[in-house]
Amino acid sequence: MFVVSAPSGAGKTSLCRELIDSIPDLRQSISFTTRNIRDGEQDGVDYFFTQTDSFQRMIAEQLLAEYAEVHGNYYGTSLETLNTAEAEGVDLLLDIDCQGAAQLKKNYRRGVFIFILPPDFAELKKRLYNRGTDHEDVIQRRLENAEQELLQAPWYDYLVINDDFQSAKKKLMAIITAERCRMSRTTYLLNNFTVKGDK
């Protein structure tokens, strides 16, 4: 489980898309959300778009591995998403906020937690304005949230600065490759060398 968090405007969504396209056996986790569907988004592809009462039922029935309220809407990852990936032997890439990441960190010690940032606050502000997709009040709220999210950064395992897209992508790929080679995740491969009489 690779968990990626970043303030809005850090380039996280594009980087995650690139990783999914470039790395075998890595699957994007599709979250549930109560926010409205945006132009160009598809239900079941970008998110599972859900009514608030359905989402609250999922919370009550403990069907979520984590959830949080972000920018005024609920977002969450279902336990089924994690279980299916595990059963199928693929790694999951989760693009989720710090509150949800903290819940997973507490409950799933085997997760790898990565924080992405632009080089500095001025650049973050510039990227949010240049996107041209949000109103001034939304941008202000996202900047305030970013300050809060920064306080969470130190407990993540890795920090990737997205000053240049290709170099940030390379760093993320290196992290995933290295984590997949950890002895704690690969000891089962040693069994290939224990067949007697095969010397």
Which residues make up the interface to ligand 5GP (CB under 6 A)?
31, 35, 66, 68, 70-71, 75-77, 95-97, 99-100
Shortest Cβ 64–ligand 5GP spacing (Å): 8
As beta bridge partners, residue 114 has 4, 158
Shortest Cβ 75–ligand 5GP spacing (Å): 3
Q: Tell whether residue 11 is among the known ligand binding residues.
A: yes
> Measuring CA to CA, how many Å separate 92 from each of 31, 54, 131?
12, 24, 28
Q: Which residue is nearest to ligand 5GP (CB)?
A: 100
Q: Tell whether residue 6 is among the known ligand binding residues.
A: yes
If you count them, how many residues does the chain have?
Answer: 199
**Is the Cβ of residue 147 or residue 182 nearer to ligand 5GP in the bound state?**
147
**Is the Cβ of residue 95 or residue 179 nearer to ligand 5GP in the bound state?**
95
Q: Tell whether residue 12 is among the known ligand binding residues.
A: yes
Shortest Cβ 72–ligand 5GP spacing (Å): 10
Shortest Cβ 29–ligand 5GP spacing (Å): 7
**Is the Cβ of residue 70 or residue 143 nearer to ligand 5GP in the bound state?**
70
**Is the Cβ of residue 52 or residue 186 nearer to ligand 5GP in the bound state?**
52
Shortest Cβ 12–ligand 5GP spacing (Å): 7
Q: Tell whether residue 13 is among the known ligand binding residues.
A: yes
Q: Which residues are annotated as a binding site?
A: 6-13
Q: Which residues are annotated as a binding site for ATP?
A: 6-13
